[in-house]
Amino acid sequence: MESPIIRTENLSAYYGDFRALNSITIAFPQNKVTAVLGPSGCGKSTFIRCLNRMHEIVEGARVEGKVLLRDRNIYEMEPTLVRRKIGMVFQKPNPFPTMTIYDNVIAGYKLNGIKLKKSQADEIVEESLRKAALWDEVKDHLHKRGTFLSGGQQQRLCIARALAMRPEVLLLDEPTSALDPVATSRIEELIEELKETVTIILVTHNIGQASRVSDFTAFFYLGELVEFGPTQSLFTVPKDKRTEEYLIGKFG
């Protein structure tokens, strides 16, 4: 594996006294898609929320251990800077309802108090919407509200909004679970294209999706990292019995 862009060392996460993640050590290769797979409640979403300091927003939540972005511990960095470098897209599309498509894309700059010239903003909006494969569909409607788009388009708008900050890593938390099959397949194609420019960590409980789009897979169970490796080998010859039982549908 090439040198990882982001890695964790003995990362544990808590909600009050409850330990949701137990000492996770994993390294994510650059410009690859890694799927984080596992049954509901196994700690997948908690894990990726720790990767951009979203976990600590929850009252009583805390982490132990390290998350290193290019060898810098993100827990020693300014949280807003971390979230610019490590973008996130959630399960349900959540464009800002009162904002236009254009303003949604550059919302991160406004929220961070970064002033853009009109020409810079125009360029970022077009570039981000092109990367999210949405430009041709919305270029004549940039000043309409983002909520007038279909569910799949709204999710691609949220991806464009995350990409506008030019992150190094993009976290996708079940990004297609609220979408129909056609919109899902469009997002999967998009994930394939995006890894040229950004490292992607994709949380999914959809085994088929993980096998289609990811280069590597991490299998989580009950807050533990059970197994991690190239997707093809993990799916064909899993090393751990629990991975095999999950993949063949014995539990999930």
Amino acid residing at 63? V
What average pLDDT does this structure show over 4-12?
A: 96
In the CATH scheme, what architecture does the domain 4-247 have?
A: 3-Layer(aba) Sandwich (3.40)
Q: Give me 200's structure tokens.
A: 């992607």
pLDDT recorded at residue 7: 97
Residue 1: band (very low, low, confident or very high) from pLDDT cuts 50, 70, 90:
low
The span from the CA of 249 to the CA of 252, in Å, is: 7
Q: What is the pLDDT of residues 123-142, one digit of tens each?
A: 999 999 999 999 999 999 99
pLDDT recorded at residue 12: 97
**Residue 252, pLDDT above cutoff 70:** no
pLDDT recorded at residue 134: 96
The H or E element spanning position 4 is strand 4-15
Q: What is the pLDDT of residues 58-68, one digit of tens each?
A: 999 999 999 99
The span from the CA of 89 to the CA of 80, in Å, is: 16
Domain boundaries, the chain: 4-247
Residue 207: band (very low, low, confident or very high) from pLDDT cuts 50, 70, 90:
very high
**Residue 16, pLDDT above cutoff 70:** yes
Using left for φ > 0, alpha for ψ between -120 and 50, and beta otherwise, residue 41 falls in: left
- When the pLDDT of each residue in the chain is averaged and rounded to a whole number, the result is 94
First-to-last C-alpha distance (Å) of the chain: 29
pLDDT recorded at residue 249: 87
Cα→Cα distances 201→6, 13, 60, 124, Å: 10, 18, 26, 23
Work out the percent of the chain whose per-residue pLDDT is above 90: 90
What average pLDDT does this structure show over 90-98?
A: 91
- pTM for the whole thing? 0.95
Place of tokens 């629990």: 242
Helices (H), the chain: 44-50, 79-85, 101-105, 107-111, 118-131, 135-138, 151-164, 181-194, 207-213, 231-236, 241-247
What average pLDDT does this structure show over 104-118?
A: 93
8 Å CB contact between 170 and 194: yes
Of the CA atoms within 13 Å of residue 82, those in its CB half-sphere come to 22
The residue with greater pLDDT, 178 or 244, is 244
8 Å CB contact between 26 and 224: no
> What letter does residue 3 receive in the DSSP assignment?
P
Cα→Cα distances 161→54, 104, 111, 205, Å: 17, 6, 12, 24
Of 176, 245, 238, give the one whose Cα is nearest residue 213: 176
